[in-house]
Structures are given as C-alpha cells and as structure tokens.
A and B are shown apart, each in its own frame.
Chain A
Amino acid sequence: MSDVNVSYLAIGPEVLLTLGAVVVLMVDVFRKPSPRVHAWLAALTLVLAGIAVGFQWSAATTDGPSLSFAGMVTTDTFGAYAGFVLLGVAALGLASAWGMIVELGRRGAEGVVLVFMAAAGFMVMATAVNLVLIFVGLEIASMSLYVLAGITRKTLQADEAALKYFLLGSFASAVFIYGAALTFAGSGSLSVYDIHQFFASYVVLKQNVLLVGMALLVVGVAFKVSAAPFHMWAPDAYQGSPAGIVGFMVAAAKVGAFAALARILVYGFSAFSHEWTTGLSLLSAISIVVGMLLAVVQTDIRRMLAYSSVAHAGFILSALTAGGGGVPAMWFYVAVYAVQVIGAFTVVAAVAGPSGGASPLSDYTGLAERSPLLAGSLAFFMIAMSGVPLTSGFIAKFGAFTFAWLAGFQWLVILAVVASVAGFFFYLRVIVLMYMHDPVPVEAPGAVTGGFEAVGAVRWVLIITVAITLVLGIIPGPLLDVARQAFPF
C-alpha cells in the first residue's frame, strides 16, 4: 500500500480527455473558432484516448491486470473494455448532438467539454478499485450530465429535468458514499481488492454492517442505471433534456455504472454472492416489469424510451445474477444497448429538433413517407430493442437469459421473456405510427407534418449504429470474444 507506483498508462485516457477538454476551452476563449474546429479537436482527442485505451488493453492482455497509485487504479481488460465503449459512445453521442452544439453558438464548446468530462468520469468509475475513487468518478460524470441536461437554458422543461436529475442524483451519490462508509466500517478498507482479501482471510461473524453497506452501494449504482424502483428521475430527465444528448447520457451512465457494480460485487463481495445475486434478481425482475408496463402507457417517445431503458437495466442485471460468469453477457448487452439507444435518440433529436423539448408520439405519424431514413432507422432500433433475432438486441437478451437460467433463476427468465412480449407492444406502436398510418394532413393544428432531413453527422450516426446493430446480430462472435476477455477477475 505504501508503494505509490505511478503509472501514466493507467490514467492515460482520462488525462487525454481532460487535456482535450482544456484545449477546446482555451481555443474557444482565444480564437473564437467555428464549430468545425471543435469537431476536429474533439475527434483528435477521442482518437488519442482510444489509442491509450488500446495500449491499456494490450498491456493487460500480455502482463495481466496491474495496480497503480497505491492500489487505487487498475489497468485491466475490464476497465479497457469500458474505455473502448465509453469513447465510442462519446464519439457517437457528440456526432448525434452536433446540431445542438452548433445551435448553442458561443457555448458550444461547453457541450464538447462536458461530454469529455462525463466520459472521463465514467472511465474512472470503471478503472478505479477504491470505493472513494469510484465515487469521485461517479460525481465527475454525474455533475457533467446534470449540466448537460440543462445546457440549452431555453425551456422550463429542461431546467426542471436538470434540477430533478441533480437532486435525485445527489441523493443517490449520498447513498453510495454511505455504503462505502459502512463497508469501510465492516472491513477496514475501501479497496475492492482489500475487501476481497478481507473475506478470504477472516471469518466474518457479524456480517450485517457489510451487508447493509453492500446494499447501499448497489442502491447508489441502481439509481445511475435507472433500475426500478430507483428510476423516478429517468422519464423526466429523458423528456426534458435536449434530445441530441440524451442518448449519450443514457448510454454512458449504463457503461460506467455497470462496470462499477460488477467490479464491486463480483470481486469485492464475492463472499456474499448468494445474497447479492438474489438481490439483483429481485431488482432485475422489478425493473423489467415496471419498465415494460409503464412504457406501454406513455404518449411521449422519450418517456417511452426512458421506461424501456429501465427494463433494459433489468435485462442487464439478469445477466449479473449469474455472478462472474454473467459479466461477458453483461458487457455485450451494455455495449449493444448503448449503440441502440444513441441511434434511437438521434432520430428523436432529428424529429424534435436538436435541442427540442417534448417528443409526442403523434409527431411520428406517417414518418415513413416523410423521412424514410429516419423512420427506417428508428423502426430497426425498436425491433432491436424488443429483441428480435438478427439484431444485436436478440443476442444480448439471449446471452443474459442463458446465464440467468444457468444460475438457477428460471423464474426470472420466464418473467423476462413474457415481459419482452409486452415490450413488443409499445415498440411496435412506434412502427405502426410511422409505417401504417398516413401522414397527418397539414391543416391539423399543431401537428408536425414536414419531412425531416437527416444531414451530415446525423446521417452517419444512423448508418453506423444501424450497421453495428445488424452486424452484431448476425456475427456476434468477435464482440462476444472480446467481452469474454474483458473479465479478468
């Protein structure tokens, strides 16, 4: 512990992202450049950070996982996988939100910076092995997301979303840190490795403090992944925040928070695996049922996607009920869901306007006639999220269910497959509106009738996300292999 052991590789991606953020801000202050310059700087930063993550991956695969900074940070395939996904999510998210960033004008650079900071924070969450450092990463990321939620300052709705997100999110952070404190009280350490060691070397007679601490840690993270019953903030935050950035907010939070959850539970609390797999199975079941049922009655596509994200958090949790064995399935699910949700919100942003507010489902009536690319992409994402084969969504669900079944949670699998059918109902409703209804006549008051152009970055985001979702649905092997390697403990 006394050995500090500085490793720049371990924090390289985060440092590069932060540097990139500083450079973007400085260039913005001194040169007042066009958004194009920001785009190039952002791309350069992401590529450099990506290379750093690549080095982390290769170091971890050749030398095995290593600890640095006095046992605070680890360099392993697990963290590197999260880094890859987060950088991809950041790139897609920025491209998808580019319309909003351009629209922000002088404050556009802030959008780029906040996305970088959020990504860096979640990467810290994924690579940290100390509960306090995980908390620091969580806070960096969360703060950035709160600000992003209210960045347009235009609508009351966005302010409400940001405030609600902030208040509930802070509460969740407090719960998390209290859990860390109780864990420290019970085990005498904040390091996930030391906690693991503690269980291995002592017979713990009074487990209650540790159990409560673990439960509070789980609750804190469950807030971030919007698992029910800790999901109340999600529909409002998704509905009010600028449409272009919601996809990133959802996807990045899922990656970072699930990484922390898996590391804390699967490694740190492996001795309690019976307790937490049972707990997660309940959390998973509640999320799936609540998410699916409440999504059915929504009239706003963003609220619908919010509840669907609650359900997906439940599906991902079902993979973790298998303990460590389920981690690859969790990783696969998280990655493909991140891509789908960004793609879906890209369409929402194109229809609602990049910083637009509410997105009532009626806006989508007859979209197939007006904007075939947008309608086709959204339809495809709906099909993928509902878990139809030949999309990555099916493989992800299949993997999660297989591991849950293997772990003995048959009831959860049966509940989940039946709930998936309920899910078809609301996913299909979007397709029904887009494809099977004729466009609303122009005279209808307040109706959104025009066609929407998918231009520039948006077009590319759609093409890339659709392609990834389709290809991983047909050839899932490569990513599954990587996900299997991304489980070193």
Chain B
Amino acid sequence: MDFPILTVLILLPFAAAIIVALLPSRRKELFLPVGIALSFLPVALAVYLFFVFKTGEAGFQFVESVPWYAPWGISWHVGVDGISLLMIVLTGILMPISLAASTSISKRMKQFVVFNLILEGGLMGVFLSLDMFMFFVFFEVILIPMYFIIGVWGSERRIYAAVKFFLFTALGSALMLAGIIAMALMYAHQNGGIISFDYLGWLTLQMPLHTEMWLFAAFAIAFAIKVPMFPFHTWLPDAHVEAPTAGSVMLAGVLLKMGTYGLLRFNLGLFPHATLKFVPVMAVLAVIGIVYGAAVAIVQPNLKKLVAYSSVSHLGFIVLGIFALTSQGLEGGVVQMFNHGVTTGALFLLVGMIYERRHTKEISEFGGIQKVMPIFAGFFLFTAFASIGLPSLSGFVGEFLILMGSFLTLKWYAIIAASGVILAAVYLLWAYERVFTGPITKPENEKLLDLDAREKTLLVVLAALMLLIGLYPKIALDKIGPSTEAVLDRIQATTTYQPPAPGRLADVLGGIGGE
C-alpha cells in the first residue's frame, strides 16, 4: 500500500514521453518500438491495480494526498473506485494498441509517440483526480496532444477538424472553470475561509437549488460537449474522420468517456438536487442522440464517419443509463463505457487497416472483399456483433442493463432508445454487406492482402475482451457495483428521490453484497 501506485500510473506515461523525446533524432526506427514498449508499463500496472482493487468496497482506494499549493487549497489527491477503475484499464490497454497500429505514420514519428504518451498520462490523471483543480488541469491538458495528433497527422481537412475539436471542448471547460472557482470559494465561505478543491470536501457543500442548477449546467455543458451529446456533437464526425487511426481509437475509446465519467462522478455526485431537475433534459438529449446518431450513421457513405456517428448513438445509451438513476442503469452505463471503448476502438482499427491498404474510406469503393480478406471480414463481423449487442458479447451486457434500468424510471425514453439497438444492426450489418459481401466490383480490391500477424494480435486482444465481458460480466460488475450504489445512496440520502422497487440492487438482492 505504501507504493504510490496511482501517482506512478499518472507519471509513468509522462516519463515515457520524456524518454522518447530524448532519443537521438537520427535513430528514427527506435521511436515507435520504444514508445510501444514503454506503454506496456502502464498496462501492466493498470491490470495489477484491477486485481488488487478490493471488490465490494464503495469508497476510493489507494488514496494519496499531498498538498500542491496549500494557500490555494489545491492538492495532488488521487484515488480509484469502481467507476474509474475500468477507465484506467481501458486507457492502459488502448494506448499500446493504438501505437502499434500507427506503423504507417510517415512524418515526425517522435513527436507522434510523445504526444500519444502525454495523452495517456493526461487521461490517467483525469480519471484518478480527486482534486478538482487537478482534474481540470488534466482535463484541459489533454486537448493539446489530441489537437496535435489530429492536426499534424490527420487527413486532408485535418486543420479544420483539429481547431473545431479544440474550440468546442475549450468552450465547455471554460465554463466549468468558472464553476470550479465558484465551488471552491463557496467551500471557503462555508468552512471558515479555508479554500479547498477537494472533491470529497465538496460533497458536504450546502447550496440553494438555483445555485446548484447553475453549477450543474456549467459542469454538464463541459461534459456534454465531450461526450458528445446532441446538439454539441458536430465536432465529433469531423475529428474522427480526419484523425489518424491512433487518434480515433483514443478519441472514441477513452476521450469521450471523460464526458460520461464527468457526468456520473461530478454532476450526479455534487449536485443531487439539480440532477433530479435535469433528468428530463438529459434523457431527452440522450434519446435524441441515440436515434439521431444511428439514423445518420445509416446513410453515411464513409465508413469512418459511420463509426463516428455510431459513437454518438452509443454514448447516448450511456448517458441515458446514468440519468435513469437506478442501479442497473448506472452499472450498465459504466460497463458500457468500457465496452464501447473496446468495440469502437476495434472498429476504428479495422477501418484504419483497410484505409492503409486502399487509401479510401468510402463504402462504395469496396464490395465483396471478404473473398480476399476473410480474416479481416471475420474480425469486422465479430466486432460489429459486439457493438450491436449480440448476447454473449460485451455490448449486450451494457445495453441490456441500461435499457432495464432506464425502463424503470424513464419508461418511454427506454422504449424509444431500444430502437437504437435495431438501428445499430441496420447500419453495421448493411455496411458489412456493402463492403464485404457480393462479387468484387473494383479491380483494385482483388489484390488486397489479408491481416498480418501484428494486426491480428491487436484485434485478438480486443476481441478477447469483448468475449470476456460478454460471457463473464461479473468480473467487471462486481467492482463497479458498490461504487455506483454509493452514488445512488447519496442521492437518496440528500433528496426525496426514491427509485421504483426493483431499481436498486439492494431491493433485488436484499442488501448490498447479499449474494
């Protein structure tokens, strides 16, 4: 316990970035392998953390707290609970995979690896911070590497996409900064002038409802842009289409989860009264996102844009699950955050692999290529099934829990949202049909090479995770459950909210841990 595992997890990628930056510039062949090798250290640590994490405890574990600048009440305060644990593991796993998928990067490889590693460190910081100042620092710092990754290594309209990405998200976090300052000063006002950015301390704040609603809005807009929720989603398709494969994988896989994580951790945690007031708004926007994202995905002529819009739809499910305010919804939301990272990460990898071969992402350029690339086609179909939510694959677990949880409190929303599952089957399977089945229509496609060993390895890892969560969700749910229960406990304790009878695991199982 004395080993500061969380601090090391945050600092390790930064240290790795410095090591790569210090490699001699003429040894171009070293940058990527060294970067990949170094990014295995955080994975190892994250997986270790996953197994030493005490199941059945709701609170934060491995907490470390050191004053950063005491007069301002800012501290280096980290901790992990069931909600952040899977995000850490996801970040760790996706980084070496997305680096290993970047062998085709032709220019400024060193900077590319460095920015990716900085990105990883920032993400770890976001999910582990328990100090709001520190959280904001990492939340904002992440923009810089991602901005460069899209803007330097992206495709034709990369600059437009990078700037749009940056400005959208910066606008959201600017308002959140004002909210954070307001909260810290409110804390000082209520605690004898001692200013503090400690998340746990902020949980004790008392505030009038209208203040709470303003603050909820300031935080929610920042996170809604990040998720992205309708109508803030327009930056996402641009960013995804232009980003290099590694950028897309990290963006969809982890960066978007910062939004849903923030909504769950901070909006639900800090503003329980306002949460209840805002449930209809958030649920409506989530359902619009689900249906709209899926509908737009169906008609996309561009494979990458299709996957991007599918993210809007899937993230809508997660938001719906969170604001259902039931055990099942919250648990499903968190596990779906992990699943979406894995499946969409895999889909972007697949799109990247076919793009490297044909230099196009237009669906109409393909057709019948399962004859020349059977293994590729197999992985694509497998991932598509996981994404759609076929039972025994990971997507099913999350979406089932979310729909079950939201049906209890947001009945009609859940019914409409369920159509998103069907639409997902439409856009993914129809895309599969157009790309892979039938006769080969284009002569360029006849000579396509199937996946090599490196590509297979990357996909096998992700496919194994889809299967694991699909067949044995308990491994994740056991760790998540107590922490999401604690969120609901707090809402119930501070407000008059009562979830309907089977809406709490406690109702079903007769007490937490009553198995």
Contacts and interface: CB of A to CB of B under 8 A. Distances in A.
Partners in one complex: yes
A424 B170 contact: yes
Contacts of B174: 417-418, 420-421
B144 A401 contact: no
A200 to B, nearest CB: 26
Interface in B130-184: 133, 136-138, 140-141, 143-144, 147-148, 151-152, 158-159, 162-163, 166-167, 170-171, 174-175, 177-178, 181-182, 184
Among A394, A406, A428, the one with the most B-chain Cβ atoms within 10 Å of its Cβ is A428
Contact of B136 (A389, A425, A476, A480): A389
B167 A421 contact: yes
A402 interface: yes
A176 B158 CA distance: 51
B166 A424 contact: yes
A138 to B, nearest CB: 33
Nearest to B70: A477
Interface string A397-427: 0110110011000100110011011001100
A432 to B, nearest CB: 5
Nearest to A401: B181
Contacts of B148: 435
Given A421-B167, A424-B166, A484-B71, A401 B177 contact: yes
B23 to A, nearest CB: 14
Contacts of B137: 389-390, 394
A388 B141 contact: yes
A477 B68 CA distance: 8
A436 interface: yes
Contacts of B158: 436
B196 to A, nearest CB: 13
A416 to B, nearest CB: 9
Given A390-B141, A425-B167, A484-B71, A414 B178 contact: yes
B51 interface: no
A390 B133 CA distance: 11
Interface string A24-67: 00000000000000000000000000000000000000000000
A421 B159 contact: no
A425 B507 CA distance: 52
B181 A477 contact: no
A311 interface: no
Interface residues of A, number: 32
A428 B175 CA distance: 20
A383 interface: yes
B3 interface: no
B147 A401 contact: no
B159 A383 contact: no
Contacts of A437: 159
Contacts of B468: none
A477 B72 CA distance: 9
A424 B147 CA distance: 12
Contacts of B108: 368
Given A418-B174, A480-B71, A432 B185 contact: no
A421 B172 CA distance: 9
B144 A383 contact: yes
Interface string A445-485: 00000000000000000000000000000001100110010
Contacts of B182: 405, 410
B69 A388 contact: no
Interface string A176-204: 00000000000000000000000000000
A428 B144 CA distance: 10
Contacts of B151: 431-432, 435-436
Contacts of A398: 133, 177, 181
A436 B158 CA distance: 8
Among B147, B159, B166, B170, the one with the most A-chain Cβ atoms within 10 Å of its Cβ is B170
Contacts of B152: 435-436
Contacts of B147: 428
Contacts of A476: 69
A476 B138 CA distance: 16
Contacts of A432: 151, 159, 162-163
Contacts of B162: 432, 436
A154 to B, nearest CB: 36
B513 to A, nearest CB: 40
A476 B158 CA distance: 35
A418 B171 contact: yes
A264 to B, nearest CB: 26
A424 B171 CA distance: 10
A256 to B, nearest CB: 27
B163 A388 contact: no
Contacts of A428: 147, 163, 166
A402 B136 CA distance: 14
Nearest to A433: B159
B159 A436 contact: yes
Contacts of A424: 166-167, 170
A413 B71 contact: no
B71 A389 contact: no
B190 to A, nearest CB: 14
Contact of A421 (B69, B133, B136, B171): B171
A368 B115 CA distance: 15
Contacts of A413: 178, 181
Interface string B358-393: 000000000000000000000000000000000000
Given A405-B181, A406-B185, A417 B175 contact: yes
A110 B177 CA distance: 47
Nearest to B151: A436
Given A388-B140, A388-B141, A389-B140, A477 B69 contact: yes
B311 to A, nearest CB: 24
Interface in B71-91: 71-72
Interface in B206-248: none
B169 to A, nearest CB: 10
Given A389-B136, A428-B166, A417 B141 contact: no
A204 to B, nearest CB: 32
Nearest to B137: A389
A424 B162 CA distance: 12
Among A389, A418, A420, the one with the most B-chain Cβ atoms within 10 Å of its Cβ is A389
Interface in B92-123: 108
Contacts of A405: 178, 181-182, 185
Contacts of B138: 389
A203 to B, nearest CB: 32
Contacts of A420: 170, 174
Among A383, A394, A431, the one with the most B-chain Cβ atoms within 10 Å of its Cβ is A431
Contacts of B159: 432, 436-437
Interface string B246-282: 0000000000000000000000000000000000000
A368 B112 CA distance: 14
Among A406, A421, A425, A480, the one with the most B-chain Cβ atoms within 10 Å of its Cβ is A421
A428 B162 CA distance: 10
A2 to B, nearest CB: 42
A388 B143 contact: yes
Contacts of A410: 178, 182
Contact of B170 (A390, A394, A399, A421): A421
19 contacts: A390-B141, A394-B137, A398-B181, A399-B72, A402-B184, A406-B185, A418-B171, A418-B174, A418-B175, A421-B170, A421-B174, A424-B167, A424-B170, A425-B167, A428-B163, A431-B151, A436-B151, A436-B162, A477-B69
Interface of B: 68-69, 71-72, 108, 133, 136-138, 140-141, 143-144, 147-148, 151-152, 158-159, 162-163, 166-167, 170-171, 174-175, 177-178, 181-182, 184-185
Given A435-B148, A436-B162, 20 more contacts: A389-B137, A389-B140, A398-B177, A398-B181, A402-B72, A405-B182, A410-B178, A413-B178, A417-B174, A417-B178, A418-B171, A421-B170, A421-B174, A424-B167, A428-B147, A428-B163, A435-B151, A435-B152, A436-B159, A480-B69
**Nearest 5 CB-CB pairs, A to B?**
A389-B137, A417-B174, A436-B151, A477-B69, A421-B171
